[in-house]
Structure 1
Amino acid sequence: MRKLNQVLLMTVLTGMLWACSKPDQNPGDKYFSSGQYEEAISEYTASLKYSPNDVRNLYNRGRAYEENGDFENAKNDFVKALELDPNNFQVLLSLANLHHKEKNYTNALLYASRAEEISGAPAMASFIKARALHQMGKSEEALNSYANAIKRDKEFGQAYYNRGLLKVAMGNIGSSCEDFQLARSLEYPGSQEALDKYCK
């Protein structure tokens, strides 16, 4: 009877610990949060040995690789995660952002556009799309994409700021000043300097 009580007590304690812990929490998450990307990569890799198709761990390891400057391995993880979950807008946005960093604007546009089409996608999808279009010299389309980003998130200071810079490049100073003022009201860095430079 005493042994049975001990077994029951251990079962209850184990159940309580399981309920209080976060089962989806990977030790790599803690390392990632503290900027210890090598350690995070090791933890995610260890987890992926047992669950090689875990989209979350693939994505997180990809982010750790990216933060560590290893874009090729980051891309490999993102692509594999996307194969497993084709409508994951986080993965699509990470691929878009990574390609933008590498100045591969065509692929950045492709992934950002795919992310933008997914229901519930954040304003960042339209924003990255706009940046890629801007770099490709498609100014009018870029303006529309910045407008979409702002429509999705009225407090997206960087979208106002970048749209203002694009308008300056297009010779539309008056309208750019409105964007810089909105960016400044949202305390986006550099907006006051842009106002001082272009809107005297």
Structure 2
Amino acid sequence: MQKTFVVVLLALIIFSCKDERSELGDKYFKKGDYAKAVEAYTEYLKLEPAHVKSLYNRGRAYEELGQSEKAVADFKKVLSEDPMNANAYMSLASDFYYRQNDYENTVFYVDKSLKYDENNASAYTLKGKAFQKLGQLDQALTAYNDALSVDKQYADAYLSRGLLNVVKKRRSQACSDFKMAKSLGASNSDQVLKKYCN
């Protein structure tokens, strides 16, 4: 009986320590101390190497530190453990492929993300931006409209669609989108309004 109690107590202590290391990583991340967050997540992952949340969060911390190769490795490990993880697909799309000007892979990974989270306005907006960079303007417009059908208050979609309307020489629609973006607090909305709508 005593032996069983000791084993249970030891198991509880071990699991408690593991949870504390993961939570410690979260605390460091929230404080912006990404190097310490990486250390804490790495320690936790030694005990639980397939813990999806810690892998993903360590990847985000690596991103913040500018260590994109390590971030990508963590996101891909997340997907090997959880192939339906919409956040990992979006992180690959936005924080890696889009920044690398690889717009085809951006669209590919956004579509993977949307398969598991179809109500993500930022994903549709990113898809629109990638299509716009590829010169596929009709697909870009569809993606921006999809973003706004999911969230009518998503300022970045209005701003992005407004810039697309400028390219398509639809000035009144562009200005309407810029005004809506401004009313929703989009950064740069004053700048584009002055540039295109005065």
Contact 2:22 2:41 in 1 (8 A): no
Q: Residue 113 of structure 1: which of 89, 96, 111 is its match?
A: 111
Q: Trace 1:29-48 onto structure 2 (pairs within 5 A).
A: 29-48=26-45
Q: Percent identity?
A: 38
Aligned to 2:98: 100
SS across alignment from 1:141: helix
Q: Residue 47 of structure 2: which of 47, 50, 53 is its match?
A: 50
Listed one character per residue, the Cα deviations across residues 79-118 of structure 1 (whole Å, up to 9, x for unaligned) are 1101111111111110101210111111111010111122
Alpha-carbon distance between aligned partners in 1 of 2:27 and 2:116, rounded to the nearest angstrom: 29
Q: Residue 77 of structure 1: which of 74, 78, 92 is its match?
A: 74
SS across alignment from 2:146: helix
Contact 1:44 1:61 in 2 (8 A): yes
| 1:193 Cα deviation from its structure 2 partner | 2.0
Query: Is residue 195 of structure 1 aligned with residue 180 of structure 2?
Result: no
User: What's the TM-score, normalizing by structure 1?
Assistant: 0.86
Alpha-carbon distance between aligned partners in 2 of 1:92 and 1:24, rounded to the nearest angstrom: 25
What 5-or-longer segments of structure 1 have no aligned partner?
1-6
Q: Trace 1:1-200 onto structure 2 (pairs within 5 A).
A: 26-97=23-94, 98-119=96-117, 121-200=119-198
* 1:83 aligned partner, one-letter code: S
Moved segments of 4+, more than 4 Å = 22-25
Alpha-carbon distance between aligned partners in 2 of 1:194 and 1:32, rounded to the nearest angstrom: 34
Larger mean CA deviation between 64-73 and 147-156 belongs to 147-156
- Superposition RMSD on alpha carbons, in Å? 2.2
Alpha-carbon distance between aligned partners in 2 of 1:91 and 1:121, rounded to the nearest angstrom: 16
Alpha-carbon distance between aligned partners in 2 of 1:24 and 1:127, rounded to the nearest angstrom: 35
Alpha-carbon distance between aligned partners in 2 of 1:24 and 1:140, rounded to the nearest angstrom: 48
Contact 1:115 1:121 in 2 (8 A): no
* 1:166 aligned partner, one-letter code: L
SS across alignment from 1:102: coil
Number of positions where the alignment pairs a residue of Structure 1 with one of Structure 2: 185
What 5-or-longer segments of structure 2 have no aligned partner?
none
User: What's the TM-score, normalizing by structure 2?
Assistant: 0.86
| 1:153 Cα deviation from its structure 2 partner | 1.1
Question: Between Structure 1 and Structure 2, whose CA radius of gyration is higher?
Answer: 1
